[in-house]
Structure 1
């Protein structure tokens, strides 16, 4: 097959509150033969991620917003099917950021070869062995300065980043790891599969109360994917000198009104706490060390993972909306 037709999903308008199907448009593009230096790639997997909701807004952020009429950019992995670039011959598996497409053709410089690892699916390059895992590693080490014996609390622990954080924390010497999730099934998965010492359903009661019960000796490191009541609860339980790494704030991503901040920020002063937000793009220098560690852990059978797979490029919007509502366990992916 020539794969000269490409299905692409664009941003049609900026969502107000929760995104809906009408905020997107699906178009078909036909490609001519690759020009010198170009390659054509058929995607195997496309990523849908919480940060994409932020880019659908035109608010100032760490990365440029998506353009109206532009393709939803993001992580994807595929295989070169046509090439006019010597460095990426036909058959090469590549990572790229061209996002929500089934076929993409562009200059070879926009793709990065991803050597296949025997026994591991290519999809892992989009989460545990890729940006998701690196985000967890950076937050724990470069931002929170994880120390042996630390008690770690992770919000949104059953998501892609959260399932990586818990395991990496334990492998790096954390003494106790606690997570929050939104269903009883996810809570059980955290303790039975991902090595969490304790977990709770944040819908079962006040997060502050449940966290205090799960961490009677307090929390040393908080890895936050949620914000809101989880951040306030963590502040209430932090030990003196504790560190808070803020990775995401999914509780506020679809809010239409300004959200109230934590009521107990004075704890930052009285307990000499350190709070720092971060984005993984500022820490690519940590990638080689992370990749070596994570590959070794996988080879030793020390890493578990879950993938929530939705089939077909036409179902990408549904996958994204489901992920934003917490329907995924582990990484949400669209299989092309």
Structure 2
């Protein structure tokens, strides 16, 4: 499956297995979503369980919070992550706090799906990476898959979770990963090992990272699209890098991170979002706190620029295999 097909299949499975699951958002019903992630769901499961909403992100998430408290399991789509900001108050002030403020009497078992990141020439308002904003909020979980297999298993786990989960989908990976040799090209998922997605129900626990490439020289912490950039950089530089796919930022698998850095003595963090206050800063701080006496060099970050999303220069803005590869070689020289 492609990642889009895996995400679609995950929602089919959830709708079939739990009558409390509902799917809604802008154009997700009859049209099947702008990226076709919800295609066929309404035809199979009916208009009462898969339905369209007005263009009102705050209202979409507010409805989801109410339905979740009432016993439903809403899966809502925000058409692009750039559009999520009108719903920020509902996510932060309501969904994230509901379980705590009611002493566990009510909770918010909602999943908010959204395509995020650049790479499709979407410009400033269709290309942002806001994961760091929401990872900061206590009570919200933040998940970002890198393969079709993970996308299906993590999305099912998110839907079944009793807490609110933001599920950011790297749209640059919807149809295929990087080929490992250039900054730009993408190849189809067809034939790629990570495209093998089992039928039916399976889930991947939130907060469980995946070591996608064992290594001994340096630990590379990545998620989403940057996992494939990290693999390409390790291949092109012949650095024995251990690449860790975080899968979820909150909850974070700190154990896998610390064991890796204690083994390699070096750490590079890579993400597409802007550098200042990006999630890489939190990762660097955690590595320093837990692995200080094991480090042979300062933790290095490879990130997007501290600018509004630069549509005209987006491929220079993205950390690519060359920029990350230079960082891998540089940290080994310290």
TM norm structure 1: 0.29
Structure whose residues are more often helix by fraction: 2
Larger radius of gyration: 1
TM norm structure 2: 0.29
